[in-house]
Amino acid sequence: MALDASLVAVAAVEAWATRSLGGAYALTAAYGAAGALVLRRRLPLTAFAATLPALSLGYIWLAPMGALYTIAADDHRRAWHAWLTGGCAATVAAVSFAPWPWLGPLSWEPAAVVLAALMSALLATAPIALGLLMAARRELAARLGELAESREHERRLAAEQAVVRERARLAREMHDTVAHHISLISVQSGALEATAQSDAARSAAEAVRQLSREALDELRRMVGLLRLPITSQAPSDEPGLADLPALLASAGPDVHGDLPALEDRACPPPVQQAAYRTVQEALTNIRRHAPGAKTHVALRLQGDYLLVCVRNGPCGPAPGPALPSGGHGLTGLRERAAGLGGTLHAAPEPDGGFLVRAALPLGP
């Protein structure tokens, strides 16, 4: 808008500066040409035609050149644009060179004719050249934008391929190492169950074998997820709220739960998975750091959130064996909750226990 206003103002100043060179008709035509520039973007041909009477005066140049520039700077990829631009340029040259009667006596000497022809050619070609240059600049900028977008797309594809290769490597490592050891645990616990002398040892061996089988099934599920393409959706057999009672039952007699009946449509699958993993990781940490502690698990709906609370008391009198820990469990839970737009709080309690509380949004 500032550029258009400046062009109209300069054309009006040109008309005012040359007001003494013609009569009322010339002054009207000059100001009309300056005002026609307001329409040069919406109606370029109309504005161009409105500047031709002022061009025939012989001393009004800015308004016709501005209108011709607008036509030349239009989308020149159209098939008929070259013909239109050439016709408008020829019109400017003809109107500027023609010996109109109101111009007074003209000199037909060769030098004057050559000078008039050069002036007419300049008035016709200069706006065309500048307009085509600006159109080519816009097209080049568009091509550069497409090239940058294509490179960004290639970069994303390369990053996705690197992630796929890394996931495949992790899947191989997990299958070749962890699955092997868990399989050995299952086999050894089965042999121990068959040779156990007491019912307690036999029950313990059976529990170890069952847990190792469940761990092996979950590990295979995770390996399968790692081998899926990035754009694929996760399978629908992920654990959810319906699997929590079995998880609490396998945790031992010291774990008690308050699990109300929640409709599946009230909790989306990602929220159910996050709730299950939160309880699972919290129970794992309790077995590792506070074995034998009384534990209470509670779930409830509060507004648009599912609240998951796992609270354990102080550690039992007989600490269990030291278990390896990577120190990433709570960090992973916080990342999982943040990915859903929720929060996770984990802190020790005044009585020596520990509280893990997650607020998971039910909506997007």
Residue at 318 is within a domain: yes
> Among candidates 44, 154, 58, which has minimal Cα distance to 106?
58
In a domain, 299, yes or no: yes
CATH number of the domain to which 313 belongs: 3.30.565.10
User: How confident is residue 326, by pLDDT bands cut at 50, 70 and 90?
Assistant: low
Contact 72, 90 (CB under 8 A): no
Tell me how many domains the chain contains.
2
Candidate from 17-31, 79-93, 280-294, 323-337 with smallest mean pLDDT? 323-337
In a domain, 220, yes or no: no
In this predicted structure, the answer to whether residue 57 has a pLDDT above a threshold of 80 is: yes
Look at residue 316 and tell me if it is in a domain: yes
| 327 inside domain | yes
Structure confidence by residue, pLDDT tens digits, 85-101: 888 889 988 888 888 77
User: 81, 106, 131: which is the final residue of a domain?
Assistant: 106
Which long-range CB contacts under 8 A does 33-36 form with residues at least 24 apart? 33/60, 33/63, 33/64, 34/8, 34/63, 35/8, 36/63, 36/67
Burial of 132 (0-12, 13-18, 19+ CB in 10 A): middle
**DSSP E strand stretches across 195-276:** 255-258
Residue with the larger pLDDT of the pair 258 and 320: 258
* 276 within some domain: yes
User: 91, 106, 121 — which closes off a domain?
Assistant: 106
The answer to the question of residue 335 being in a domain is yes
In the chain, the amino acid numbered 119 is M
Question: Is 169 domain-assigned?
Answer: no
Tokens standing for 145? 């934008």
Residue 87's domain comprises: 2-106
Q: Which of 106, 126, 149 is the last residue of a domain?
A: 106
Q: For 137-160, what is the mean pLDDT?
A: 92
pLDDT digits (tens, 9 = 90+) for 101-138: 777 677 778 887 888 888 888 888 899 899 889 988 98
State the pTM of this model.
Answer: 0.49
